[in-house]
Chain A
Amino acid sequence: MKKNIFHTIITHVFAWAFALIWILPFVGLFMTAIRPYDEIIYGWWKFDNFTLTLQNFVRAWNHPTAALSVGMRNSLLVAIPATIFPILIASTTAYGFSRFKFKIKNYLFITILILMTLPQQMIAVPIFRIMKEMHQLDRFLGIIIVHSAWAAPWIIFFMRNYFSTLPIEIEEAATVDGASDFVVFFKIVLPTCIPALISVAALQFSWVWSDFFIALILVFSPDKLLATQRIPLMRGVYFVDWGLLSASSILVMAVPIIVFALLQRYYIKGMVGWTLK
Chain B
Amino acid sequence: MVSLFKNTFIEKRTIVLKKKITRLSFLLPTLILLAIFILYPAISTLYLSLVTPSGNIDPISNYEDVFGRREIINTKGISQGFEFPLGALLHNLLWIIIHLPITTFLGLILAILLRDVKGNAVIKSIIFLGMVIPMIVGGLIVRFMFDKYVGIIPSFLNIFGVIPKNWTIYPETALFSMILGSIWLWTGFSMILYSAGLSTIPQSYYEAAKVDGASPMRIFFSITLPMLKPITTVVITMTVLWELKIFDLVYVATMGGPGGSSNVLALQMYLYAFRQYNFTRASVVATILMLITMLVAIPMIKSSKGEERS
Of B71-79, B81-89, B238-246, the segment with at least 4 beta carbons within 8 Å of chain A is B238-246
Is A50 close to B, CB under 8 A? no
Binary flags per residue of A105-137, CB closer than 8 Å to B gives 1, else 0: 000111111110111111111110010000000
A69 at interface by CB-CB < 8 Å: no
CA distance A194 to B185 in the complex (A): 30
A60 to B206, CA, bound (A): 54
On chain A, the residues within 8 Å of B42 by CB distance are 115, 118, 122-123, 126
Q: In residues 79-121 of chain A, which contact B (Cβ within 8 Å)?
A: 89-90, 92-93, 95-97, 100, 102, 108-115, 117-121
Cβ–Cβ contact A92 & B26, under 8 A: yes
Q: Contact check, A149 vs B38: say whether CB atoms are below 8 A apart.
A: yes
Main SS at interface, chain B: helix
- In chain B, residues 249-301, which have Cβ atoms closer than 8 Å to a Cβ of chain A? 251-252, 266, 269-270, 273-274, 279, 282-283, 285-287, 289-290, 293-294, 297, 301
B222 at the interface (CB under 8 A from A): no
If A181-B23, A210-B135, A253-B133 touch, whether A119 touches B34 (CB-CB below 8 Å) is no
**B-facing mask of A201-236, CB < 8 A → 1, else 0?**
000001001111100110000000000100110010
The answer to whether B274 touches A217, judged by C-beta atoms less than 8 angstroms apart, is yes
How many chain A residues have a CB neighbour from B under 8 Å?
96
Asked whether B48 lies within 8 Å of A12 as measured between CB atoms, the reply is no
Q: Provide the bound-state CA to CA distance between A253 and B30, in Å.
A: 30
B189 at the interface (CB under 8 A from A): yes
User: Across the interface, which residues of A come within 8 angstroms of B18, CB to CB?
Assistant: 180
Question: Given contacts A15-B114, A125-B44, A216-B270, could you give 16 more A-B pairs where the C-beta distance is less than 8 Å?
Answer: A25-B152, A100-B27, A117-B301, A119-B289, A119-B293, A121-B245, A121-B285, A123-B42, A146-B37, A149-B38, A152-B34, A153-B34, A180-B22, A210-B134, A232-B251, A252-B134
- Chain A positions within 8 Å of B, measured between CB atoms, are 8, 11-12, 14-16, 18-19, 22-26, 28-29, 32, 40-45, 89-90, 92-93, 95-97, 100, 102, 108-115, 117-127, 130, 145-146, 148-150, 152-153, 156-157, 160-161, 164, 180-182, 185, 206, 209-213, 216-217, 228, 231-232, 235, 242, 245-246, 249, 252-253, 256-257, 260, 264, 267-268, 271-272, 275-277
